[in-house]
Structure 1
């Protein structure tokens, strides 16, 4: 290495020592051109670490092989943790170029590790002798997980099989990156411009204010803009009296990735489905769904479909009753229409107002973002003894982000929590949790740095951001994930935090949502943004009574996406996939109501096609909901939603345990048994008669 290059690398803020007391990366000093050199250096470091591990003359031991693997790649985790978080939450053209460059490079690097014959021989030798190694339970779990990872990565294939599998995974990495960038491009490019009162008819003040701000940001002061951010498009569909504009916006929303132009994702999907199927066959599985689910709680596609189909029938029946209610409402108002997908949210809002006397524009005045953040912190404090101290002086990648030092009841630091709450054009849509640094003890007492990313609309000038009840539930959901990362208490990084199967990872998040609906939480934190008065008791009671309103629609919208996901990945037909026709036929086969569209249509289904995370796995939310509905029942059975003994077990076996145990064992350790879907059906109101 030349002295000039060495000096440049030393000055690279991604590789230099980070001086923030919490270990937060020095975001303000990182430039897009720093990423590629930092990645290259980090990759070379891990290659050298792996080579030294393989070339050591000593026979394999847990310490010199498995712990060696766990210690390797620290620089790569550090650089990747910064880059991939910002690639989702605050990207730009330069970063997207790096993302496209690095996707196949990183896949190739991973293949070189997990397909390495010499390295696998060491791991395999340890695995064969695992009963005689004197390992503790956590070490045994780490060894088992590494052996599984190697085998599923192709370590047992012959050289030609490895070569082909490596090419497949590298190509899939590139395709997944392009897929997500195409969706973001479509989201960024669309604006529905509203000009004057006729275009604004029906829109409440909070939506007008956010639309005016979006227009100003787009250089159109005096006008109003609706974007494809869910916090913009959904309330527009809910309130706009302009049916023509609702149709226009809805069709743009559902057509992301399906434009027929440069950002169309259908060819990418067809290639990904074919490559995934080939990958599964190489590894000895009949379909990609068989391969993917073998390492989950569900285990098989049949188990997944049994659950999805059990819920589908009552959900569809309820949705049809809801549709008829909407149609009758429109007819009573003298509106000669047939309910279409762009009408559902609008008429559902009116039926809800009529039936439950609930006006979303009124409800939002009681749900201030800052108060709901405080409510989530209060809940975490009452359940797990956590305290949150806001940081004022810390590195920021955007002026809007906030951070808190998280401490336990004794004042010891647990970790750092970052909140990135507002929509912007540099951020992909949706809401998620991630980590800039995960907890571990192997390399010292490493405290996690966890981030929640949302896409809420900002408040007007001098006004707080106001949330819908669904927005507030999303905040609690993602904070449940954050707690899973923050409370992690394991030695080995492979097992830390949310590193569990996809159909178990949603348990901590979905379970945490239950506490938002606790009356004492709402009475304290749902306060009017101007008067400070608590939500009126009659309104609170009506809000709770209407929790299952429109649940048929919501369940059908979700289940249809999960069923199409599984159908795509059970496909064995070697001919080229016509994505649009397949989606249409799959929906027809389940009797998809014409008036409802999948929550995530295939061309913008980022859960499934931006990477492998939720491929064949979108069912996971429902699988975990079976668990969370039953888990909250454990608290209800005590008569105290914050019962200390139950909360202690929940923390021990779920929130702090990472992947120490098989998911079924972990849940049984908490609850004493595995659940049935009954609690889920009751929670969603799908056990009740379908007439109202």
Structure 2
């Protein structure tokens, strides 16, 4: 990263965080920022924030909404600005210097926000307003901010006695440091593995996969004509998909599965114990039976029972479907390995074989139509078609040569924000994909909207030779997903910083909604153009994509749900005792729920970054919960007969995307849809619903009464219960604090991390769609 690694003669007095940024569109001055600027800026930011808070707490005037709640909401501006940049860069372009800074800064930030949220003088003024809120003549937005502020203090421990507050501070500091260590260990594990192969060992792989491996070998000074394969997804997944060498597939996949579980300096198992011990103790201090109960109480789901009802209801039919898929794959496997046993590292290879056999469709045939530039043009086209916005390339400071930037113009050509793209893997960059802010949308003291600066970060296949970056279908869908998060940030028009965030199980709605258009025939014809010939993707190929959309769905749903269940299980521990995370996972998934050995959970504990250093602890279910919302929301477009209906899109923007957390998620959703979400659309999209199409007007009119959860625990494909989401299960809860929406995350302010996660000031935003 040029901005934090280059040497300069500038002095600390010229720290770019100490003054206003004189940059185009107010973007960070990446060309001036260096690693050594962050700690002084964070320290000064904390000092200024302390002074602002002291002024609020020591004010002798009677507390009012203005001198307490609005003042608190506006405080800490410099610190927030510094933290956003620091958190995003620590995920996108980490260096040894930044890693060391994280270990120093995160405990300091956790302690700083604890001082504020446990300040008895400040809380007394907040509580006095909260207790007489009905007499304050506040509008709905002001009342929402007051209630959220009060709840934030309570969830941070403001009602505890002095002894418990002191212990809570210690826990938060330890958790902040543990998160940094976990992430740094995983980064080291991702980077240190390499599998060097000869030309003969690479035979049979697609030519672009081979060339990418050779390019990596040249970078690392290896022998001529050899190739290097790594654990980064653009290298790993093509190898698992196309290599006929079963032994090599096993070697690389086991290396991937055992990250953080090798008994060395990067082993994460003791850190996992530390997380669960500390999080469980924190939950008990705050009056909750488990950390999962503490987390979910602040989300749309409300209770762990509602989460388990959703996940178990999806698990049963998905696993049965996966077993059926396995039987088909085993038929192909037996032809190659008559006496062997099908294993998890065989799944990608034989699934690709089966897809070619059943649908005459393979990834290598599709990728020439999905160049990165064209897919990006596709999301631009969709955003323009739905919302009328446009994108103009701009020259602004960037933190790496790979990064590009666009000004986003609203339909009336006013400035909406800036959008960065950072697409390719490199050392120092976290795995996966995410979207976050470098500058949040706010309003300044004069009431003018401060436009956001948003960044989409991915790990896509790099260009090879003269060929552009060619994406897989999954990568193309990922870009649509992250772009949905970007639109959410760009369309924000929220007055108060404390109302910018939505619940965690609501945050994936805008991103997952965009995925529904990714392979729509009309959208495909706009962007799926052969990079050499210029030919638009043929209708026959579009038909094959559509026919195969449920292919391998049992596997994908099972591995994702397995990870969500293992997350809930480990955070539902009520009394901590030292444990082996690997054995705990096996008991939770294999022994208790019957996960077959041919499928691994999408994330195993030692590298489950979402839940240990990524802000989704007891929250990996968010994606599934939000999928009920996104599929039902898409039904609004289907029911209209026009998937690009601008009236509906404008409604969604105005009532959902622009509002942030000005209302609870369910109220926002009802305002847009006019009803509670219907889960049948989600079940149908996964091939787990064989009943009437939810878009059918009669079926919609005859929706059954709401049930207690989103999906019944006994749901099976033939008998999946239809119905709307329970208003009780989805009652208005105080939103999740700033997730970098990992794929779906935005970096957290440490203030919010202390309240929600206590895992550090930044989420290491990885919205991770690995």
- Shorter-chain TM-score bucket reads over 0.9
**In the alignment, which residue of structure 1 is the partner of 2:594?**
591
Which protein, 1 or 2, shows the higher relative CO under an 8 Å CA cutoff with sep ≥ 6?
2
**Larger deviation, residues 563-572 vs 15-24:** 15-24
Residue 43 (1) aligns with residue 46 (2) = yes
Whether contact under 8 Å (2:261, 2:606) holds in the other structure is: yes
Whether contact under 8 Å (1:212, 1:221) holds in the other structure is: no
Q: CA deviation at 1:551?
A: 0.3
Distance 2:203 2:670 in 1: 53
Whether contact under 8 Å (2:379, 2:480) holds in the other structure is: yes
**In the alignment, which residue of structure 1 is the partner of 2:388?**
385
Whether contact under 8 Å (1:383, 1:644) holds in the other structure is: yes
Distance 2:309 2:87 in 1: 36
Q: CA deviation at 1:333?
A: 4.9
**In the alignment, which residue of structure 2 is the partner of 1:437?**
439
**Larger deviation, residues 433-442 vs 149-158:** 433-442
1:164-313 matches, cutoff 5 A: 164-196=167-199, 198-220=200-222, 222=224, 223-313=226-316
1:293-442 matches, cutoff 5 A: 293-333=296-336, 335-391=338-394, 393-442=395-444
1:457-606 matches, cutoff 5 A: 457-496=461-500, 499-587=501-589, 588-606=591-609
Secondary structure at the aligned position of 1:555 is classed as: helix
**In the alignment, which residue of structure 2 is the partner of 1:71?**
74
**In the alignment, which residue of structure 1 is the partner of 2:728?**
none
**In the alignment, which residue of structure 2 is the partner of 1:623?**
625
Residue 99 (1) aligns with residue 86 (2) = no
**Larger deviation, residues 76-85 vs 315-324:** 76-85
Distance 1:95 1:597 in 2: 33
Distance 2:46 2:382 in 1: 41
Distance 1:271 1:537 in 2: 54
Whether contact under 8 Å (2:276, 2:576) holds in the other structure is: no
1:571-611 deviation digits (Å, cap 9, x = unpaired): 12332122121111101211111100010101100100005
TM-score, structure 2 length as denominator?
Answer: 0.87
**Larger deviation, residues 581-590 vs 503-512:** 581-590
**Larger deviation, residues 71-80 vs 106-115:** 71-80
Distance 2:134 2:483 in 1: 39
Q: CA deviation at 1:8?
A: 4.9
Secondary structure at the aligned position of 1:415 is classed as: strand
Whether contact under 8 Å (2:454, 2:489) holds in the other structure is: yes
* Structure 2 residue ranges without an equivalent (≥5): 1-9, 691-715, 719-770
Q: Cα–Cα, structure 1 residues 331 and 655, in superposed 2: closer, same or farther, change >3 Å?
A: same
Distance 1:414 1:655 in 2: 13
Distance 1:48 1:569 in 2: 37
Distance 1:45 1:434 in 2: 25
Whether contact under 8 Å (1:290, 1:300) holds in the other structure is: yes
Distance 1:217 1:29 in 2: 28
May I ask how many residue pairs the two structures share in their alignment?
Answer: 680
Distance 1:390 1:418 in 2: 10
Q: Cα–Cα, structure 1 residues 505 and 455, in superposed 2: closer, same or farther, change >3 Å?
A: same
**Larger deviation, residues 12-21 vs 297-306:** 12-21
Distance 1:24 1:238 in 2: 40
Whether contact under 8 Å (1:317, 1:690) holds in the other structure is: no
Distance 2:25 2:453 in 1: 8
1:629-665 deviation digits (Å, cap 9, x = unpaired): 1110110001111112211111112211110111111
**In the alignment, which residue of structure 1 is the partner of 2:163?**
160
**In the alignment, which residue of structure 1 is the partner of 2:30?**
27
1:90-169 matches, cutoff 5 A: 90-169=93-172
Distance 1:347 1:102 in 2: 47
Whether contact under 8 Å (1:523, 1:535) holds in the other structure is: yes
Distance 2:221 2:73 in 1: 50
Distance 2:248 2:686 in 1: 32
**In the alignment, which residue of structure 1 is the partner of 2:709?**
none
Distance 1:475 1:217 in 2: 27
Whether contact under 8 Å (2:110, 2:176) holds in the other structure is: yes
Whether contact under 8 Å (2:553, 2:687) holds in the other structure is: yes
Whether contact under 8 Å (2:280, 2:575) holds in the other structure is: no
Secondary structure at the aligned position of 2:516 is classed as: helix
Q: CA deviation at 1:202?
A: 2.4
Whether contact under 8 Å (2:213, 2:227) holds in the other structure is: yes
Whether contact under 8 Å (2:260, 2:267) holds in the other structure is: yes
**In the alignment, which residue of structure 2 is the partner of 1:453?**
457
**In the alignment, which residue of structure 2 is the partner of 1:687?**
689
**Larger deviation, residues 56-65 vs 94-103:** 56-65
Secondary structure at the aligned position of 2:221 is classed as: coil
1:177-204 deviation digits (Å, cap 9, x = unpaired): 11111111100111111222x2112211
**In the alignment, which residue of structure 1 is the partner of 2:653?**
651
Distance 1:118 1:155 in 2: 10
Whether contact under 8 Å (1:257, 1:264) holds in the other structure is: yes
Q: CA deviation at 1:442?
A: 4.6
Distance 1:557 1:664 in 2: 28
Distance 2:498 2:194 in 1: 43
Secondary structure at the aligned position of 1:500 is classed as: coil
TM-score, structure 1 length as denominator?
Answer: 0.96
**In the alignment, which residue of structure 2 is the partner of 1:3?**
none
Secondary structure at the aligned position of 1:342 is classed as: helix
Q: CA deviation at 1:626?
A: 0.7
Q: CA deviation at 1:512?
A: 0.7
Distance 1:221 1:139 in 2: 65
**Larger deviation, residues 124-133 vs 240-249:** 124-133
Q: Cα–Cα, structure 1 residues 365 and 221, in superposed 2: closer, same or farther, change >3 Å?
A: farther
1:414-456 deviation digits (Å, cap 9, x = unpaired): 0110011111111010100110011112543210000010001
